[in-house]
Amino acid sequence: MPELPEVETVVRGLRKTVLDKTIAKVIVDAPVKSIVVSESFKSKSFEAILKNKTIKQINRRGKNILIELSGDLTLWVHLKMTGHFYYKDVSTEKEKHDLITFQFKKPDSNFKLIFNDYRRFGRNRLYYSNEVMEQKGLKELGPEPLEISSDDFVTIVQSKNRMIKPALLDQSLIAGIGNIYADEALYASRIHPKRLFSSLSKKKLVELHEHIQRILSMAIDNMGSSVDTYTGVNGETGKFQNYLKAYGNEGGACERCNKIIVREKIGSRSAHYCPKCQKI
Ligand SMILES: [Zn+2]
pLDDT digits (tens, 9 = 90+) for 104-152: 999 999 999 999 999 999 999 999 999 999 999 999 999 999 999 999 9
200: pLDDT confidence band, cut at 50, 70 and 90?
very high
User: How many angstroms does the Cα of residue 278 sit away from the middle of ligand 1?
Assistant: 7
The amino acid present at 154, given as its one-letter code, is V
| pLDDT above 90 (res 14) | yes
pTM: predicted TM-score of the whole model, two decimal places: 0.97
Q: Which one from 53, 60, 61, 63 is the annotated catalytic residue?
A: 63
What is the pLDDT at residue 101?
Answer: 98
Could you read off the pLDDT of 207-245 as tens digits, one per residue? 999 999 999 999 999 999 999 889 999 999 999 999 999
User: What separation in Å is there between the alpha carbon of 3 and the centre of ligand 1?
Assistant: 25
Question: Residue 246 — φ and ψ, nearest 5°?
Answer: -115, -55
Task: Quickly state the pLDDT bin for 53 (edges 50, 70, 90).
Answer: very high
Q: Is 2 a catalytic residue?
A: yes
CATH 1.10.150.20 fits 150-273, yes or no: no
Average pLDDT over residues 153-161: 94
* CA 181, chain centre distance (Å): 11
* Architecture in CATH for domain 4-132: Alpha-Beta Barrel (3.20)
Q: What is the mean predicted confidence (pLDDT) over 178-204? A: 97
Return the pLDDT at 228.
85
Distance 37 CA to ligand 1 centre (A): 49
Q: Is 259 a catalytic residue?
A: no
CA of 188 to the centre of ligand 1 (A): 10
Catalytic residue among 3, 6, 68, 207: 3
pLDDT for residue 68: 98
Catalytic choice (2, 5, 145, 193): 2
Q: Which helix (H) or strand (E) holds 70?
A: none
Distance 205 CA to ligand 1 centre (A): 19
The pLDDT tens digits for 31-40 are 989 999 999 9
Q: Which of 194, 204, 239, 269 is catalytic?
A: 269
Report the percent of the chain where pLDDT is more than 70: 100
Residue 3 among the catalytic residues: yes
255 CA to middle of ligand 1, Å?
A: 7
Specify the domain boundaries for CATH 1.10.8.50 within the chain. 150-273
- Edge-to-edge strand ranges of the sheet holding 64-69: 35-37, 123-128, 73-78, 64-69, 55-61
Asked if 62 and 178 touch (Cβ cutoff 8 Å), the reply is no
Give start-end residues of each CATH 3.20.190.10 domain in the chain. Answer: 4-132
Our answer to whether residue 269 is catalytic in this structure is yes
